[in-house]
Amino acid sequence: MITIKNAAQIAKMREAGAMLHEVLSQIEKKIEPGISTKELDRFAEKLIRSYGAIPSFLNYEGYPASICTSVDSQVVHGIPSASTVLREGQIVSIDAGLILDGWQSDSALTVGVGAISREAQRLIDVTRESFFAALAFAREGYRISDIGHAVQQYVEQRGFSTVRALCGHGIGREMHEEPSVPNYGIPGHGVRLRRGMTICIEPMIAAGDYHVRTLADGWTVVTTDGSLCSHYEHTVLITGDEPELLSLPGYHKEEKR
């Protein structure tokens, strides 16, 4: 079922999104060579709880942490660990979600650890840019596949590939609601977007091939060819006009963060 949110519900999701943005910004500041992903997870959980929210990932289908930390060829759902100590030159995606007064927000970004290669930086940049290219279609009247098509076009024209096995999703009282939001496809298909829908758009972009597999821990998704992968995600509100990035408060189209 696709849920349409009313003004009061949107206000709550806006609050949750602003809080999540603050959490991710604080985590981002701590990323440097020598920190373990477990430390980042502990920091995130404390911060989320200190704001009176609940880390939505913790215990979600048995997931054992409050954030996902996916390093280099890890695509998503990397489990924080004391033995995963970040090293200069790596890239790490931080994916986090929280529940405030019953309303969810979900967002991710990828950052370099210390100095990274030009190619790694370009992958991070193109991934973020593909999100904003797709956002142009997150408007009333377009269809779900217009979003994925925009991501695919943007990244393939730049020599990267878009992971197909995992998708974005609707969000609201649940972290994962309908519709599914693929990052590839032909335009003009699927659910028509309507104001009051809230969706997570989350391109996962590989430097090499788009095929992925899951490690024996049952969670960590990696590229099959071992190529670097980057991830970028926001909780987005469809309006009668420009989309609103609930997890990036103060965003205006012109800024292109």
Separate counts of helices (H) and strands (E) for the chain: 4, 15
Nearest residue to 102 (alpha-carbon basis) of 207, 15, 219, 198? 15
CB burial of residue 257 (10 Å; 0-12, 13-18, 19+)? exposed
For ligand MF3, the closer CB: 60 or 187: 60
CA atoms of 194 and 233, how far apart (whole Å): 20
CA atoms of 140 and 64, how far apart (whole Å): 37
User: How many positions of this chain bind ligand MF3 (CB under 6 A)?
Assistant: 13
Torsion, CA 204, CA 61, CA 71, CA 227, rounded to 10: -50
CA atoms of 208 and 227, how far apart (whole Å): 5
Binding to Co ion, residues 194-253 (CB under 5 A): 200, 202
Q: Which stretch binds ligand MF3 (CB under 6 A): 61-69, 126-134, 139-147, 249-257?
A: 61-69
**57 contacts ligand MF3 (rule: CB under 6 A):** yes
Binding to ligand MF3, residues 214-253 (CB under 6 A): 233
**106 contacts ligand MF3 (rule: CB under 6 A):** yes
CB of 7 to ligand MF3, least distance (A): 25
For Co ion, the closer CB: 90 or 105: 105
**77 contacts ligand MF3 (rule: CB under 6 A):** yes
Q: Which residues bind ligand MF3 (CB under 6 A)?
A: 57, 60-61, 63, 68, 77, 95, 97, 106, 169, 200, 202, 233
